[in-house]
């Protein structure tokens, strides 16, 4: 089958804010619309019909049934631009890029925008589940007496709303608690987590200082940089924080775990011909992607270890090894997650017992990992992270002039997504 090369033309995001910060009153739709408009302005797409916009959010209101389409209608894109939502927890952002890229590769579309948005501030709060059942039954009741009977089931406790929780439905453990188990299983130390977190802040600050984000970012609601960024972060300062997951001798703190965040991102993808016709640059090409999932419910697998499985499948198919990559972007959901995943990739036992490989993938050199900072510093609005990483990696590859980069994103539900970009 003939497929076309998929060009990453550019990206845009709004600075990421900490939950209940500057974006406390911005909805998913507000932020996604603002982000799309920033992208439209940057690439002169005002009033243009883009073939497709694909985006998603993890925490979604019931009213946001077609969040992306509504954002498009509110944006400066032509209202004739089609759109749809997809959702795969923290993999959402990268999955939207994959969805757009695949259609371009197949020739079904020439240009598309992939994006993601999330707010932990403007979280959807739902009616109490008991109350909801009563109300639905009331609606179904046909006669007055049966309606009256249904109403007798109302109880005072039913005023307590359903608030979304950051926990796995099938284990009841929060993501942090799951990661604490992974940290323990893989012998991850507090020191290395804090080192990774400090490096993330320092590298993100350096990237801002040299203007790296100048054409990747649109200020929003008074914020010009990621609110979570602490340029003066250091291992010594991080070492003072108390553990929040894993009990008293836990190693995970608020400093080496990502905070709840608000934000949005978008990436412009196109065929080479479309980009050339517009005189737009190609930052990098989207090469391949792979998802995987683990059974964290019954088989004791680490909740966030799925990328460890996805990566070798993708590399094997492309006949590539870690040595072939210049840049590695591993989403820093938690420093411990990054450390555990790197351990798994260099572990001969994991390679053999879990991956069925004769040899491990190998070590990722520190100087190729998340070179412009990661989620620990930038924050992590769930579905917006994929777009942030794709745009930044494409730009970094473009700056290098040539090379290959790989992305790894872990997601709730025991899932993971990885992808390859190259220039």
Partner 1 sequence: MADLYTQLMRMPVTSTVGKRIGLPQPVELDRGSSAVGGRVLLGGAGRLAEAAARVLAELRADSATALDDPVRELAARAGLDAAVFNPAAPADHRFKALVFDATGISTSAELVELQRFFHPTVGRLQRSGRVVVLGGERRALEGFTRSLGKELGPRGVTVNLVHVEEGAEERIGATLKFLLTPRSAYVSGQVIRVGTNKHKPVAGRTALVTGGSRGIGAAIADVLEREGAHVVRLDLADAELELDITTPDAPERLAERFADGLDILVHNAGVTKDRTLAKMPEDRWQSLMEVNLLAPERITEALVPVLRDEGRIVCVSSLSAIAGNAGQTNYATSKAGLLDLVTDIELDRGITINAVAPGFIETKMTAAMPVGVREVGRRLNSLRQGGLPVDVAETVAWLAGSGVDRNVVRVCGQSLLGA
CA dist., res. 227 & res. 388, Å (int): 15
Neighbours of 315 (CB within 10 A): 20
Of the candidate residues 200, 251, 256, 385, the single one contacting partner 1 (CB under 8 A): 251
- Which range, of 13-21, 127-135, 177-185, 282-290, touches partner 1 by CB under 8 A? 177-185
State the minimum distance, in angstroms, from the CB of residue 183 to partner 1. Answer: 7
| DSSP H or E run through 277 | helix 272-278
The single residue among 80, 236, 249, 319 that binds partner 1, judged by CB under 8 A, is 249
**Shortest Cβ distance from residue 415 to partner 1 (Å)?**
23
* Partners of residue 257 on adjacent β-strands: 334
Buried b (16+ CB within 10 A) or exposed e, 164-199: eeeebeeeebbbbbbbbbbbbebebebebbbbbbbb
How far is the C-alpha of 417 from the C-alpha of 249, rounded, in Å?
A: 31
The one among 224, 353, 366, 399 contacting partner 1 by CB under 8 A: 353
Secondary structure of residue 374 in the 3-state scheme: coil
Residue of the chain from 348, 365, 399, 402 that contacts partner 1 (CB under 8 A)? 348
Q: Euclidean distance between the first and final Cα of the chain, in Å?
A: 23
Beta bridge partners of 78: none
Which x/- pattern over 189-208 shows residues binding partner 1 (rule: CB under 8 A)? xx------------------
Residue 61 annotated as catalytic: no
Shortest distance, position 360 Cβ to partner 1, whole Å = 8
CB 4 within 8 A of CB 104: yes
Catalytic annotation present for 298: no
Q: How many helices (H) and strands (E) does the chain have?
A: 14, 12
Shortest distance, position 186 Cβ to partner 1, whole Å:
5
Measure the CA–CA gap between 145 and 103, rounded to whole angstroms.
Answer: 56
Adjacent-strand bridge partners of 349: none
In angstroms, give the least distance from the CB of 412 to partner 1.
24
Told to check if 186 binds partner 1 by CB under 8 A, we report yes
**183 scored as a contact of partner 1 (CB under 8 A):** yes
- Residues in contact with partner 1, shown as a per-residue x/- string from 27 to 66 under the rule CB under 8 A: ----------------------------------------
Under the binding rule (CB under 8 A), the answer on residue 244 touching partner 1 is: no
Phi, psi (deg, nearest 5) at residue 84: -150, 160
d(CA 208, CA 202): 10
Q: Which residues contact 199 (CB under 8 A, 6 or more apart)?
A: 366, 370
Whole-number minimum distance, CB 180 to partner 1, in Å?
Answer: 11
How many residues touch partner 1 under the rule CB under 8 A: the total is 19
Among the listed ranges 55-63, 95-103, 117-125, 244-252, the one in contact with partner 1 (CB under 8 A) is 244-252
> CA–CA separation, 77 vs 33, rounded Å?
10
Strand partners, 417: 291, 409
Look at residues 392, 386, 391, 395 and name the one whose alpha carbon lies nearest to residue 373. Answer: 392
Q: Does 328 bind partner 1 (CB under 8 A)?
A: no
List 90, 201, 296, 331, catalytic entry: 90
Q: Which run of H or E residues covers position 137?
A: helix 129-140
How far apart CA 345 and CA 181 sit, in angstroms, is: 18
Which 3 state secondary structure label does DSSP give 242?
Answer: coil
Query: For partner 1, which is the closer residue by CB, 1 or 349?
Result: 349
Q: How far is the CB of 189 from partner 1 (least distance, A)?
A: 5
Smallest separation (angstroms) from partner 1 to the CB of 249: 4
Q: Which of 201, 296, 331, 410 is flagged as catalytic?
A: 410
Q: Figure out which of the listed residues 155, 166, 352, 365 binds partner 1, where binding follows CB under 8 A.
A: 352
**Nearer of residues 184 and 225 to partner 1, judged by Cβ:** 184
Q: Which of 184, 225, 237, 278 binds partner 1 (CB under 8 A)?
A: 184
Pick 61 or 184: Cβ nearer partner 1? 184
Does residue 347 interact with partner 1 by CB under 8 A?
Answer: yes
Binding residues for partner 1, per CB under 8 A?
183-190, 249-251, 343, 346-349, 351-353
The residues annotated with a catalytic role in the active site are: 90, 380, 410
């Amino acid at each position: 089958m003939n497929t076309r090369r998929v060009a990453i033309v550019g990206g845009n995001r709004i600075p990421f804010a900490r939950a209940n910060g500057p974006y406390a009153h911005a909805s998913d739709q507000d932020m996604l619309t603002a982000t799309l408009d920033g992208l439209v302005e940057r690439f002169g797409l005002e009033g243009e019909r883009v073939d497709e916009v694909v985006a998603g959010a993890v925490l979604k209101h019931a009213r946001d049934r077609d969040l992306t389409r509504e954002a498009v209608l509110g944006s400066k894109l032509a209202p004739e631009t089609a759109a749809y939502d997809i959702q795969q927890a923290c993999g959402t952002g990268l999955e939207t890029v994959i969805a757009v890229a695949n259609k371009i590769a197949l020739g079904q579309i020439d240009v598309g925008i992939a994006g993601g948005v999330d707010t932990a501030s403007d979280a959807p709060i739902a009616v109490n589940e008991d109350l909801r059942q009563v109300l639905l039954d009331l609606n179904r009741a046909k006669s007055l007496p049966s309606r009256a009977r249904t109403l007798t089931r109302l109880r005072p406790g039913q005023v307590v709303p359903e608030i979304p929780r950051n926990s796995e439905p099938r284990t009841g453990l929060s993501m942090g608690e799951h990661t604490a188990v992974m940290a323990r299983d893989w012998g991850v130390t507090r020191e290395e987590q804090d080192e990774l977190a400090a490096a993330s802040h320092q590298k993100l600050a350096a990237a801002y200082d040299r203007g790296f984000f100048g054409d990747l970012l649109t200020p929003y609601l008074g914020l010009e940089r990621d609110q979570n960024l602490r340029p003066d972060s250091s291992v010594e300062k991080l070492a003072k924080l108390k553990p929040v997951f894993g009990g008293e001798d836990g190693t995970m703190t608020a400093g080496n775990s990502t905070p709840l965040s608000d934000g949005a991102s978008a990436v412009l993808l196109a065929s080479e011909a479309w980009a050339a016709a517009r005189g737009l640059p190609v930052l990098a090409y989207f090469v391949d992607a792979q998802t995987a999932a683990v059974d964290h419910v019954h088989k004791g697998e680490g909740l966030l270890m799925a990328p460890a499985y996805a990566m070798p499948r993708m590399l094997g198919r492309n006949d590539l090894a870690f040595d072939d990559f210049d840049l590695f972007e591993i989403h820093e959901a938690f420093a411990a997650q990054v450390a555990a995943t790197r351990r798994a990739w260099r572990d001969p036992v994991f390679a053999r017992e879990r991956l069925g490989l004769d040899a491990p993938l190998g070590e990722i050199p520190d100087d190729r990992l998340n070179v412009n900072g990661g989620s620990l510093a930038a924050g992590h609005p769930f579905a917006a992270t994929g777009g942030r990483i794709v745009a930044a990696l494409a730009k970094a590859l473009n700056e290098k002039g040539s090379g290959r980069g790989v992305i790894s994103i872990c997601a709730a539900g025991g899932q993971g997504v990885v992808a390859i970009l190259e220039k």
